[in-house]
Amino acid sequence: MGAAPAYLKSHSQGEYVFDQGWAEAYERAGGQYYPKLQVAVPFTPVTGPRLLAVGPHAPAVRAALGTALVEVTDRAGLSSAHVTFAPENETRELTAQGYLLRTDQQFHWENAHYGTFDDFLGALSSRKRKAIRRERKEALAAGIEVVWLTGRDLTESVWDSFFAFYMETGSRKWGRPYLTREFFSLIGASMGERILLVMAKRAGRWIAGAINFIGTDALYGRNWGAIEHHPFLHFELCYYQAIDYAIRQGLKRVEAGAQGEHKLARGYLPVTTYSAHYLANPALRKAVADYLKRERAYVDAAGAELAAAAPFRKDLAETE
């Protein structure tokens, strides 16, 4: 009648709901935060069902799964259970069972039935429209060519190049990239038709790339990397090319991954994400609950402020 895929984790990598601060505080106080129980899609900051249930009894099944996760956590002597990037209704149901609610923000681009990228630009304010055109021009000014690769185009040679980008940029930005070279070969073989690799080439060699996953109605942007650094190339490969692809394929939106207020000026608007957390230790639970109350207020206020600063025209009838 239902299921909840769960993982026993000894770290907090690959989750995009950051609880390292909780772990450090608990361990300074003498507790052991890891291992913990994680209900998630690994490495994937995409909202979707986490407590899987169908039929007329689905709410009751989800409630039973929520209770079972607490029982598993307590019986195994774990510090916590975390249900991340779940739909709002699932997290609200879990908070009714005593889980702590956490919110955050992502930035998504929505396709308002645009026929072309220029149609999208036409919906922006004049200043933002000019800025994006300038960025796109400058990104390719050094003789850079952009290529879309998918399916059979994803050769081992291409993956070698992309992995080099991932490692170089990941080491600088995150300190310890965790995806292996084999990972990319495996996804290329098993789901290549669902992958869009946006690659940049200059002087006959690949210099940068961004990987996206193609959903039923959305494009999901994930990792990017480069071995040459050119102004605005990151924005071109990760944001503008993704928008262009989504328009051409009739996809409803682009989800550009976790964080990034700089995405707002590129037409990506703030969207609230939800997670639910059970912490076994009463003192830790109280401290985190107090923190999350303040954090939720900040997320709400920041979301309203960012939405008000959206780059879209206030009056679509304005004249140029």
- Per the domain annotation, does 257 fall within a domain? no
Give the model's pLDDT for residue 318.
Answer: 47
The whole-chain average pLDDT of the chain stands at: 94
- 264 within a domain of the structure (yes/no): no
Is the pLDDT at 317 greater than 60? The verdict is no
Assess whether pLDDT exceeds 90 at residue 176: no
Work out the pLDDT band at 235, boundaries 50, 70, 90.
Answer: very high
**Average pLDDT in the 270-298 region?**
97
Q: Is the pLDDT of residue 140 over 60?
A: yes
CB-based contacts of 212, cutoff 8 Å, min separation 6: 195, 196, 197, 198, 219, 220, 221, 222, 242, 245
One domain for residues 128 and 235: yes
Residue 7, both tokens: 């993982």
Q: How many domains does the chain have?
A: 2
Categorize the per-residue pLDDT at 178 as very low, low, confident or very high, splitting at 50, 70 and 90. Answer: confident
| Span 249-258, pLDDT tens digits | 999 999 987 7
Instruction: Match 């084999």 to its residue by tokens.
Output: 182
Say if residue 280 is in the same domain as residue 195.
Answer: no
- Residues 220, 283, single domain; the answer is no
The verdict on residue 319 lying in a domain is no
**Cβ–Cβ under 8 Å, residues 57 and 193:** no
Residue 265 counted as domain residue: no
Across residues 123-144, what is the average pLDDT? 96
pLDDT of residue 175: 60
- pLDDT bucket at 224, cuts 50 / 70 / 90: very high
Is the pLDDT score of 315 beyond 90?
no
Query: How many Å apart are CA 185 and CA 196, to the nearest integer?
Result: 14
The share of the chain scoring above pLDDT 90, in percent, equals 88
Instruction: Verify that 122 and 232 share a domain, yes or no.
Output: yes
Q: What is the CATH number of the domain that holds 245?
A: 3.40.630.30
Q: Are residues 119 and 101 in the same domain?
A: no
CATH code where residue 100 lies: 3.40.630
Same domain, 28 and 123: no
* Same domain, yes or no: 101 and 119: no
Residue 320 lies in a domain: no
In a domain, 313, yes or no: no
Are both 278 and 171 inside the same structural domain?
Answer: no
C-alpha 300/C-alpha 305 separation (Å) is 9
Residue ranges making up the domain that contains 17: 2-105+271-308
| 259 domain-assigned | no
pLDDT digits (tens, 9 = 90+) for 61-76: 999 999 999 999 999 9
Q: In the listed set 222, 251, 280, which residue is the last one of a domain according to the structure?
A: 251
> According to the model, what pLDDT value does residue 259 have?
73
Which among 251, 281, 298 is the end of a domain?
251
Q: Are residues 123 and 209 in the same domain?
A: yes
End-to-end CA distance of the chain: 58
Mean pLDDT of 190-218: 97
Domain-located, residue 87: yes
Which residue(s) pair with 275 in the sheet? 84, 102
pLDDT tens string 152-162: 999 999 999 99
| HSE (side-chain half, CA atoms, 13 Å) at 211 | 23
pLDDT of residue 219: 98
On the question of pLDDT at 119 being above 70, the answer is: yes
